[in-house]
């Protein structure tokens, strides 16, 4: 049996939900040793993703990983984690900003112990910016980034946008992931290989969380009947009085309670039980009317930056001006063209953004760099080869 291209790479992943564990799965799939630092006591505030169904086998996002349960509220627990990190290549964590620091496992402490460690941080809003400490979910993040907007259709609310899951998520990002893995394999072995990245395979791969929820019974096969696909009133996009849209995804119980408090719904029997599915259609009707009572900006003033898990649904021009995106430099303007800045952010490396070249502008320079003399270059030009 052949070994994965990342064999020899050690990854320490702090247990969580969503894209962080999915990234850990991808490392493990490619042969890396992935050690999950689990909690000694389960987090009572975590959303129920169905992981308890029939033990751990359905939580395939942890496939191939090893697990250690640690009480990180003790000095001994923190020291245990630091020992794991001494020879690790990568750390993955998906906590809110400041949590790792409060645990005594922030970047400075970890990098002092292992200067070569790659400290990978996964959050929705980023480590900085005015929204960085607010709760949120996928639909909120892509709402404020501008990515949600063009999933809309005339006469309806914005839904999942085109190109993200197939072309870019399942295509470009999976291709990049495969090439990176193969490069590391080549650096160790001297062996190159073909990376066959199909968007069908890739979009299935990045659907891991959805498939896992489907296997666990959290996400039903019947479209629009589960919380994750628009069935729940507290996970939906709503139109506002001015024709704008806002998105909420108050999944966890404490976030749902804050939503009720801020909308003055704590005494409304329709919303008394978050998981009372027969009341969900009525709840949608009521929330539809509530959100139509104010403009999008008024809702932002009341809810943005709170733990309601909220975001306005912005178009790209609006997204580029949003204070959170401005603070993080999410967008840039080069020669009058709005475009996204490189992501993610690095603590040392600073990506340099260039401008698109005119076709053929660098031909001579590149041919010289390849070792061709002027006569050969002239001959290639004469023959129309370049």
Res 55 pLDDT > 80? no
pTM summary value: 0.85
Q: What is the pLDDT of residue 289?
A: 98
List C-alpha distances in Å: 203 to 20, 175, 210, 211, 345.
17, 11, 11, 11, 25
Q: What is the pLDDT of residue 57?
A: 66
Angle between helices 208-215 and 19-29 (to 10 degrees): 100
In this structure, the number of other CB atoms found within 10 A of the CB of residue 278 comes to 7
Q: What is the pLDDT of residue 8?
A: 92
Helix, strand or coil, per DSSP, at residue 204: helix
Which of these ranges, 28-37, 76-85, 110-119, 155-164, has the smallest mean pLDDT?
155-164
pLDDT tens string 162-221: 788 888 899 889 989 998 999 999 888 988 788 888 888 888 899 888 888 888 888 887
In this structure, the number of other CB atoms found within 10 A of the CB of residue 255 comes to 23
User: Is position 185 annotated as part of the catalytic site?
Assistant: no
Q: CA gyration radius for the chain?
A: 24
Q: What is the pLDDT of residue 214?
A: 84
Mean predicted lDDT score pLDDT of the chain: 89
Question: Could you say which DSSP state residue 292 is in?
Answer: T
Q: What is the pLDDT of residue 47?
A: 59
Res 2 pLDDT > 70? no
Q: Decide: 12 and 35 in contact? Cβ < 8 Å.
A: yes
Per DSSP, the residues of 130-169 read TTTTS---HHHHHHHHSSSGGG--TTS---SPSSIIIIII
Helix, strand or coil, per DSSP, at residue 50: coil
Query: pLDDT band for position 53 (50/70/90)?
Result: very low
Give CA–CA dist 113/5, Å, rounded: 27
Closest CA to 24 of 92, 114, 83: 92
User: Is position 137 annotated as part of the catalytic site?
Assistant: yes
In this structure, the number of other CB atoms found within 10 A of the CB of residue 18 comes to 16
Nearest 5°: phi and psi at 183?
Answer: -65, -45
In this structure, the number of other CB atoms found within 10 A of the CB of residue 55 comes to 8
Q: What is the pLDDT of residue 81?
A: 95
List C-alpha distances in Å: 173 to 30, 118, 205, 206, 343.
15, 20, 11, 10, 12
Q: Which of 89, 137, 185, 324 is catalytic?
A: 137
Q: Where are the alpha helices (DSSP H) in the chain?
A: 19-29, 75-85, 99-103, 107-113, 138-145, 174-189, 199-205, 208-215, 253-262, 280-291, 296-303, 316-321, 323-328, 363-369, 374-382
Give CA–CA dist 93/106, Å, rounded: 10
Pairing of strands 310-313, 245-249: antiparallel
Return the structure tokens found at 353: 């953004």
Q: Decide: 239 and 299 in contact? Cβ < 8 Å.
A: no
Q: What is the pLDDT of residue 284?
A: 96
Q: What is the pLDDT of residue 257?
A: 98
Q: What is the pLDDT of residue 358?
A: 84
Q: What is the pLDDT of residue 42?
A: 65
String of b and e for 228-244 (b: at least 16 CB within 10 Å)? bbbbbbbbbbbbbeeeb
pLDDT tens string 28-49: 999 999 999 998 866 656 655 4
Q: What is the pLDDT of residue 51?
A: 46
Q: What is the pLDDT of residue 216?
A: 84
Q: What is the pLDDT of residue 52?
A: 43
Per DSSP, the residues of 74-106 read SHHHHHHHHHHHTT-SEEEE-PPTTHHHHHT--
Res 54 pLDDT > 60? no
pLDDT tens string 207-256: 888 888 888 888 887 777 888 888 899 999 999 999 999 999 999 999 99
Res 101 pLDDT > 90? yes
Q: Which of 38, 167, 229, 364 is catalytic?
A: 167
Query: pLDDT band for position 97 (50/70/90)?
Result: very high
Q: What is the pLDDT of residue 45?
A: 60
Q: What is the pLDDT of residue 194?
A: 82
Q: What is the pLDDT of residue 1?
A: 44
**Which bin fits 126, alpha (ψ -120 to 50), beta or left (φ > 0)?**
left
pLDDT tens string 318-361: 999 999 999 999 999 988 989 999 999 888 888 888 888 888 88
User: Which of the two residues, 16 and 271, has the higher pLDDT score?
Assistant: 271
pLDDT tens string 127-160: 999 999 999 988 889 889 888 887 777 788 878 7
Pairing of strands 118-121, 90-93: parallel
94-103: average pLDDT: 94
């Amino acid at each position: 049996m052949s070994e994965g291209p990342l064999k020899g790479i050690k990854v320490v992943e702090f247990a969580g939900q969503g894209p962080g564990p999915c990234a850990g799965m991808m490392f493990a799939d490619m042969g890396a040793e992935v050690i999950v630092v689990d909690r000694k006591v389960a987090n009572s505030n975590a959303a129920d993703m169905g992981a308890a169904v029939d033990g751990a086998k359905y939580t395939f996002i942890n496939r191939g990983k090893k697990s250690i349960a640690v009480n990180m509220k003790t000095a001994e627990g923190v020291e245990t984690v630091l020992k794991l990190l001494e020879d690790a290549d990568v750390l993955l964590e998906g906590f809110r900003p400041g949590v790792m620091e409060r645990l005594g496992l922030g970047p400075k402490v970890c990098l002092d112990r292992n200067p070569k460690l790659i400290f990978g941080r996964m959050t929705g809003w980023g480590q900085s910016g005015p929204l960085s400490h607010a709760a949120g979910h996928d639909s909120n993040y892509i709402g404020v980034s501008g990515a949600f907007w063009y999933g809309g259709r005339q006469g309806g609310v914005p839904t999942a946008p085109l190109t993200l899951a197939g072309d870019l998520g399942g295509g470009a990002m999976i291709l990049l992931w495969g090439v990176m893995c193969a490069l590391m394999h080549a650096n160790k072995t001297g062996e190159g290989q073909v990376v066959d990245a199909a968007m069908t395979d890739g979009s299935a791969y990045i659907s891991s969380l959805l498939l896992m929820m489907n296997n666990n019974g959290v996400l039903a096969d019947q479209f629009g009947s589960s919380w994750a696909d628009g069935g729940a009133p507290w996970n939906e996009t709503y139109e506002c009085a001015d024709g704008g849209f806002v998105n909420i995804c108050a999944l966890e119980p404490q976030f749902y309670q804050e939503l009720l408090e801020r909308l003055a719904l704590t005494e409304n029997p329709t919303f008394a039980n978050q998981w009372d599915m027969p009341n969900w259609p009525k709840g949608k009707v009521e929330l539809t009317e509530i959100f139509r009572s104010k403009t999008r900006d008024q809702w932002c003033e009341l809810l943005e930056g709170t733990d309601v898990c909220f975001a306005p649904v912005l178009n790209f021009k609006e997204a580029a001006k949003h204070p959170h995106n401005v603070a993080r430099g999410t967008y840039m303007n080069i020669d009058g063209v709005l475009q996204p800045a490189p992501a993610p952010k690095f603590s040392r490396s600073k990506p340099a953004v260039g401008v698109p070249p005119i076709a053929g502008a660098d031909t001579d320079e590149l041919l010289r760099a390849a070792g061709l003399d002027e006569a050969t270059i002239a001959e290639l030009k004469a023959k129309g080869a370049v």
